[in-house]
Amino acid sequence: MRTIELTYPHMLVLEELPKTVAAIGFFDGIHKGHQKVIQTAVTKAKESNMESAVITFHPHPSVVLKKEKIHVQYITPLREKQEILQKMNVDRLYIISFSKELASLSPERFIDHFIIGLNIQHLVAGFDFTYGHKGEGNMNNIESHTKNTFDYTTIEKVELENEKVSSTKIRNLLSEGKVEKVNENLNRPFSVFGTVVEGEKRGRTIGYPTANLLIDSDALLPKIGVYAVKVLYKGEVYEGMADLGLNPTFTDKNTKPILEVNIFDYSNDLYGEELQIEWHKYIRDEEKFDDVKTLIERIALDEKEIRDYFSC
Ligand SMILES: Cc1cc2nc3c(=O)[nH]c(=O)nc-3n(C[C@H](O)[C@H](O)[C@H](O)COP(=O)(O)O)c2cc1C
Ligand SMILES: Nc1ncnc2c1ncn2[C@@H]1O[C@H](COP(=O)(O)OP(=O)(O)O)[C@@H](O)[C@H]1O
């Protein structure tokens, strides 16, 4: 998959671009609904011997448009998006860098520049996709902007248990720790990447060494607590248990949650390595224990519960 970043205003050289079927949207999470939009574009591209593309935006419009500075965290930061789209056999990823200039483009100019300009022959989007100044362009009035140069398909909303699958829903579920529900909405396990850094070197003394992970600040994490996780490392999948929290038994100084993972049946050094953590089940809240012995007893119970969960 080729990734091409686009800024507005800039020149597009039409001749060099192949005829393309594109899916367009912000696609944070690439959840079941997004997957339907993207898969439709990929299938249509194959059927018509064209290239497939995803056209997305970065950063999130609210980062650029809101008056106060906000830091947005994504269900799928750009890198995760890229990996997932690659697996979905998308040929090209166009990332339109979101700016005030872009936000002020009229719907017609937006289509001229980014759809007709990118040689898109067929555009696929969800029913609620909007484009152009104040989102005035949508899938109901797009006909007036196509100039008969491309076709389009609108994907109706995808539901799970009578509720619309949406990025907002997934964000809410993450904040409640409901990772199993999140995974149903995503159609895959929710995951984050992290680099193993040094901690307090306490884990090994209590019989549970934990790889402490430095996570990109733009990645969304679930609510604080203990979770059953899988660890993807160098092409292998390991089972393990994660504590996302403040280690209240040992200190009251931590203000930012730390993600630590104890990998089952593993004993090598991991410092500096990159791990991908898949979240499978919420086990319990992090607690402040009266002493280390009680904490160790509790972690032993967590381990039993998580091993049982993975073995059935
Ligand atoms: C499965 C699991 C559950 C944990 N639960 C708690 C907890 O409830 N409360 C707490 O203070 N620390 C908890 N811990 C975190 C330990 O305090 C932490 O792993 C230990 O302090 C080691 O830190 P270090 O890696 O910086 O050496 C848990 C760790 C694991 C692996
Ligand atoms: N089963 C395991 N799970 C996690 N880390 C392990 C494991 N076995 C060995 N390690 C190594 O031990 C380190 C964790 O030990 P710990 O005493 O908790 O140190 P730290 O406080 O620096 O995290 C990990 O970063 C990793 O390099």
Which CATH architecture describes the domain 189-311?
Beta Barrel (2.40)
pLDDT per residue, tens digit, the chain (312 aa), is: 999 999 888 766 656 899 999 999 999 999 999 999 999 999 999 999 999 999 999 988 788 887 777 889 999 999 999 999 999 999 999 999 988 889 999 999 999 999 999 999 999 999 999 999 999 999 999 999 999 999 999 999 999 999 999 999 999 999 999 999 999 999 999 999 999 999 999 999 999 999 999 999 999 999 999 999 999 999 999 999 999 999 999 999 988 999 999 999 999 999 999 999 999 999 999 999 999 999 999 999 999 999 999 998
* CB-ligand 2 contact for 238 (6 Å cutoff): no
Cis peptide before 77 (omega within 30 of 0): no
Ligand 2 touching residue 66 (CB < 6 A): no
Q: Where are the domains of the chain?
A: 2-163, 189-311
From 198, 231, 270, the mutation candidate for ligand 2 (largest count of ligand atoms within 8 A of CB) is 270
**Which long-range contacts does 2-5 make (Cβ < 8 Å, 24+ apart)?**
2/91, 2/92, 2/93, 3/82, 3/92, 3/93, 3/95, 4/92, 4/93, 4/94, 4/95, 5/94, 5/95, 5/97
Identify which ligand lies nearest to the alpha carbon of 263. 2
ipTM metric? 0.97
With a 6 Å cutoff on the Cβ, whether 210 touches ligand 2 is yes
Cα(293) to centroid(ligand 1), Å: 12
Q: Could you tell me the distance, in angstroms and rounded to a whole number, from the CA of residue 233 to the centre of ligand 1? A: 22
* pLDDT for residue 15: 63
Question: Cβ neighbours of residue 158 under 8 Å, at least 6 residues apart?
Answer: 32, 33, 36, 164, 165
CA 203 to ligand 2: nearest atom? 18
The pLDDT assigned to 66 comes to 79
| Residues 81 and 29: beta-carbon distance below 8 Å | no
- Centre of ligand 2 to C-alpha 180, Å, is 27
CATH level 2 (architecture), domain 2-163: 3-Layer(aba) Sandwich (3.40)
DSSP secondary-structure letter at 21? Answer: E
Report whether residue 192 contacts ligand 2, using a CB cutoff of 6 Å. no
Where in the chain does DSSP place strands (E)?
A: 2-6, 20-24, 51-58, 92-97, 120-126, 130-131, 137-138, 151-155, 159-160, 163-164, 190-197, 211-215, 225-233, 236-245, 258-263, 274-284
Residue of the CA atom closest to atom 9 of ligand 2: 267
Beta bridge mates, 57: 96
Q: Specify the residue with its C-alpha closest to ligand 1, atom 22.
A: 203
Cβ-in-10-Å burial (0-12, 13-18, 19+) of 45 comes to buried
DSSP 35-93: HHHHHHHHHHHHHTT-EEEEEEEES-HHHHH-SS-----BSS-HHHHHHHHHHTT-SEE
Minimum-distance ligand 2 atom for the alpha carbon of 273: 27
What is the C-alpha separation between 74 and 57, in angstroms, rounded? 12
